[in-house]
Amino acid sequence: MSQSLREETLKLLHLGHFGIERTNQLARTIVYWPGIDKDIHDLCKSCDSYCEHQNNPPKAPVHRSMFPEKPWSQINIDHAINFMGSNWMIIVDAFSKYPCIHLTQSPSTKSTIEPR
């Protein structure tokens, strides 16, 4: 592949300014030449957009759940598997943060929802 064709291909790969890793992934699905990883690295490092955002990724939005109106209207459940030799189901009231801890035979769905 000629150098001018490689340069044109690199420009097309980098159109979205994805960065080094994503551009490498994209390139591996459609094209190859010896030294392509270095060429992609050099291209991304010279990109103003990449340099501006590489150490400043966008912050993930925080989704806070609604605070429950009364006790036991919302609960959180998890399993502690093989903790101290046993399986435990932990239930926490989201309103009061009161924990209930129950010994279980298994962390399976059937064991979790079956009444005692």
Model confidence over 40-88: pLDDT tens digits?
888 888 877 666 656 666 677 777 778 888 999 999 999 998 888 899 9
Mean of pLDDT values over 8-13: 88
- For residue 75, the cross-strand partners are 93
Mean of pLDDT values over 33-37: 92
* Residue where the block lists tokens 């080094």: 20
Domain ranges of the chain: 3-53, 75-113
Q: Which of 54, 59, 100 is nearest to 77 (CA)?
A: 100
Burial class (CB within 10 angstroms; exposed 0-12, middle 13-18, buried 19+) of 103: exposed
The chain-wide mean pLDDT, for the chain, equals 84
Give the pLDDT of residue 70: 93
Instruction: Decide if pLDDT at 9 tops 80.
Output: yes
pTM above 0.95, yes or no: no
SS3 content of the chain, % helix, strand, coil (to 5): 35, 20, 45
Residue type for position 104: T
